[in-house]
Structure 1
Amino acid sequence: MDTVKASALLSNLKELNRTDIQARLEAEQTNFKHKVVVLDDDPTGVQTVHGISVYTDWTKESIVKGFREENRMFFLLTNSRGFTSKETKIAHEEIAQRVQEVSEEEGIPFILISRGDSTLRGHYPLETETLKTTIEQQSSTVFDGEIIMPFFKEGGRLTINNIHYVQYGDDLVPAGETEFAKDRTFGFQSSHLGEWIEEKTEGAYTKENTIYISLDDLRSGNSDAVKQQLMSAANFQKIVVNAVDYVDAEVFVTALLQALKEGKTFLCRSAAALTKVIGGVSDKPLLSRDELITEDTNHGGLIAVGSHVQKTTEQLNELLASGLVTPVEFDVHLVLEPEKFEAEIKRVRTTCEDLIKQGKSVVYYTRRERLDLGENKKEEELQLSVKISDAVTSIVRDLEVRPNYIVAKGGITSSSIGTVGLSVKRAEVAGQIKKGIPVWKTGAESKFPGVAYIVFPGNVGTKDTLKEAVEVLEGK
């Protein structure tokens, strides 16, 4: 594995006066009239924000509510990382049509951010290509460029010299050499973002014709120079943004707002850092137990673990070793035997209910070995994984006792539990329980109104972070 030391790569970066940078950004934001609409392919995209609405559908009614909010930004949860390509295309056509329609009716311009995984997985370029095509067909808009910015500091996702890295301690591993690049549905090879774009678009866009916003550009503090690069974009040209800290995002967003005000049009494909900065969301301390659990039920909490990435399994093992919770393993390989699978679902649910009623917190987790159908079975495996996800979700949906809190581990798991299991239509992001781990406060329409719902990404934190989050919730 081709690792480099973070300290070596970052030691020579010029320091900026962040107070000045933020003042310039705030000045640009005060007369920025666009609504920022974030399409989130799983619920973890809110991992940097608070006081922001998440709508779990994309009905016209929800989009109108989002446009009419005082907040500059709102999220639409698509859950498209769990969709087939066909489902993804249909969803993004519907969203683009409705957002454009509401924008015209309300007289409010908008910028769309397709929030994707900071380790580069997801339906790219399908999502942004569909948004671009649909909006251009429906309006006079012509998109000049697409901004690619997977930087996410809280998760250690840094872009340096156009190479995207995943940080492990002081080691930076190129994204294309991590387990995430081996994803069975969304795998890739390239770590250089220009090459990644070329790989994903099958050569339709090349690394040579990509605009690169370098760390030197950003650390000069000169947003005008960055703006000029943005002003030169044409024909949906790709724009790669390097970043290792929030100050880089702040300089970039200042330039982006200036370019938008001068009439340039962009779509964004980004991780969660860009949304925080463009949305003008302030920093907030991590949430305390008193802020999280406002209605103590004397019941145990419930933790659902669906993600199979290595980091999740390490975190699950640390939680199990701590003795904080009672484990219930869910043998999801029985999905191949429908009757046995139904009996297993019922066993897991009733066991969880009994423990929660006794005041014991419980973690139910899918069997850790992946179900492998063999070569060239991607779509079949995705369909089976949806059945498994539905079963994991049904445990919460059919639960007959209110847990003291709910944690869902993994993007697809947390999305389906939030939308289907808890029937959330709109939630407010309360903040984070640990860095990069957001908490929803569920709405009045949900199965358990006001419960603290912790949306825990599969690929965030150290091996101890899940255990530490549960310790907060348990008051340990």
Structure 2
Amino acid sequence: MPHPTPEQDVLGGLPPVRPISAAQVADRIAGGPRLVVLDDDPTGTQTVADVPVLTSWAVDDLRWALRQPGTAFFVLTNTRSLGPADAAERNRQVVRALRAAAEAEGGVRYVLASRGDSTLRGHFPLETDVLAEELGGADGTILVPAYVEAGRLTVGGTHWMRVDGGLLPVGGSEFARDATFGYRSSALPDWVEEKTAGRVRAAEVLTITLDDLRVGGPTHTADLLRTLHDGATAVVDAVRDDDLRVLALALAEAEEAGSRLLYRVGPSFVRARAGQAGRPPLTPDTLPRPAGAAPHGLIAIGSHVSLTTRQLARLRQRGGIAEFELEVGTLLDAERRDTHVADVAAAAAAALEHADAVIHTSRTLVTAVDADASLDIARRVSAALVETVRQVNAARRPAFVVAKGGITSSDIATEGLGIDRAWARGTLLPGIVSLWQPVAGPAANTPYVVFAGNVGTDDALADAVDLLRSAAPC
């Protein structure tokens, strides 16, 4: 990994922030189109509070979300776990069902955001291409990967991530070496050219800079956005929430003037565009409390990034856990898989009476010769972890469930716990780690914590579990 750059070298000398409040954005978008976020894994909810989340895109579920108060809601597509053809088809299904639901609700207007990873992993440009096709075309796609709270910042068109010692161009991070979604470029115009295989040249990408946002302001930025035509791409700088709120005002102005825009964004954009202010983390007295649950909770860990492994080690040091490992080699053996899963699930369910049960896959990452085969292995391992969680919940309902890893948390929500509709209630830590409250089903009211693999300090997982422990079940 290359050496980080001191933050002052990147952030020094920037124009002063243009203060824009969440209330200003909320007033501007009142009565406007609903923001519908198609999230390629569940972690995009970690900057918002009291927002509906769907893991199903049946028309009835979408109609339910459209009837809820607020300016935005999420549809969890989990496409990061799928191959390209399946990811494309899933996006089509969601948009077609959304169109039917909006018509059934009296013609509700909406705009679409394709929420992707703040470290640039995912099906781009495939997903925005499909959305544009289903919408009958778009003037432009707005790429805004910033995740301010997690230190993912864009300056001068280059995307950075905060690490010990400063800021690292994201192309030099471990995430850029992802077996399925790897890349080389840190400058977003170059990244767009790389990911589109040259279909969109870097020189053709519009870069909206901090000078545009902070000095030019919303109207100037809206004028830039209105120059986009024929599916052109724009990338946007962001260091603070105020930068994203300037963008939100500019988008509203450009769209009112007739621009048809799609968004490919990280988590921070959603909060800004929805007109929400940042909220402090949830406290023990505000956490949902499931009736009849075990005294302790369940932590399921699927992510293999080095940060997750360090976080698990810190949780182990705090104590109070019973640890169970799903051995990946056994999970890939069809003859031994089911027995292994059942044995681990039974032991973990029994442990909930005296400790928080931690189930994790073996920490050695198993990959294959190409991206598709590696993704297939990841899906098979994830399916086994999900089945283990399902069996634990059926045997003894945990006081809470923490899912560590994006694909892991999606699969556990839908298949492990049967969550169709939920509310994202807020975060357990400042700006990261979303807590969902399921509306119905086998996990109704159980605090469900969506914990991305690539966020937080080494102590973050242990801190989140400590907070959950302090809110005992009824």
TM-score for the superposition, normalised by structure 1: 0.94
Shift in Å at residue 102 of structure 1? 3.4
Shift of 1:295: 3.7
- What does 1:181-330 correspond to in 2, within 5 Å? 181-220=176-215, 222-295=217-290, 297=293, 299-330=295-326
The answer on 1:98 being equivalent to 2:97 is yes
What CA distance in whole angstroms lies between the structure 1 residues aligned with 2:463 and 2:58? Answer: 37
The CA distance in 2 between the partners of 1:473 and 1:23, in whole Å, is: 31
- Post-superposition Cα deviations, 1:425-449, rounded to whole Å, max 9, x if no partner, equal 10001100013110001112x2121
Determine if contact 2:55/2:420 at 8 Å carries over to the other structure: yes
User: 1:427 is matched with which residue?
Assistant: 422
For residues 378-430 of structure 1, the C-alpha deviation after alignment (integer angstroms, 9 at most, x for no partner) is: 22222222121111011121221011111000001100111111101100011
SS at match of 1:321: helix
Q: Which moved more, 1:378-387 or 1:114-123?
A: 378-387
- 1:89 corresponds in structure 2 to 88
> For 1:22 and 1:95, how far apart are their aligned partners in 2?
29
AA of the residue aligned to 2:17: L
Q: Relative to 1, partners in 2 of residues 1:274 and 1:403: Cα closer, same or farther, differing over 3 Å?
A: same
Kept after mapping to 1: 8 A contact 2:23/2:275? no
Any conservation in 2 of the 1:293–1:405 contact (CA below 8 Å)? no
- 1:393-412 equivalences under 5 Å are 393-399=386-392, 400-412=395-407
Would the alpha carbon gap of residues 433 and 24 (structure 1) be closer, same or farther in structure 2, given more than 3 Å must change?
A: closer
- What do residues 82-108 of structure 1 show as CA deviations (whole Å, max 9, x unaligned)? 111111011111122222333345322
Q: Paired residue for 1:139?
A: none
1:457 — aligned with what? Answer: 452
**Unaligned runs of at least 5 residues, structure 2:** none
2:384 to 386, 391, 397: 391
Distance 2:61 2:444 in 1: 19
Q: Which residue number in structure 1 is paired with residue 5 of structure 2?
A: 4
Once the two structures are TM-superposed, the CA of residue 68 in structure 1 deviates from its matched residue by: 2.5
In structure 2, distance between residues paired with 1:273 and 1:172: 18
Question: How big is the alpha-carbon RMSD for the aligned residues of Structure 1 and Structure 2?
Answer: 1.7
The alignment partner of 1:220 has SS state of helix
- The TM-score normalised by the length of structure 2 is 0.95
Secondary structure of 2:142's aligned partner: strand
> Cα deviations across residues 348-400 of structure 1 (Å, max 9, x unaligned)?
101101110x2311111100001133x23x22222222121111011121221
Letter in 1 for 2:297: G
Give, in whole Å, the separation in 1 of the partners of 2:408 and 2:415: 10
The number of aligned residues is 465
Deviation at 1:48, TM superposition (A): 0.5
User: Contact 1:47–1:432 at 8 Å: present in 2 too?
Assistant: yes
CA distance in 2, matches of 1:241, 1:99: 27
1:3-26 superposed Cα distances (whole Å, 9 cap, x missing partner): 2112332232333352x5556434
AA aligned to 1:212 is T
Pairs within 5 Å for 1:166-177: 166-177=161-172
Matched residue, 2:119: 119
Give the counterpart letter for 1:379 in structure 2: D
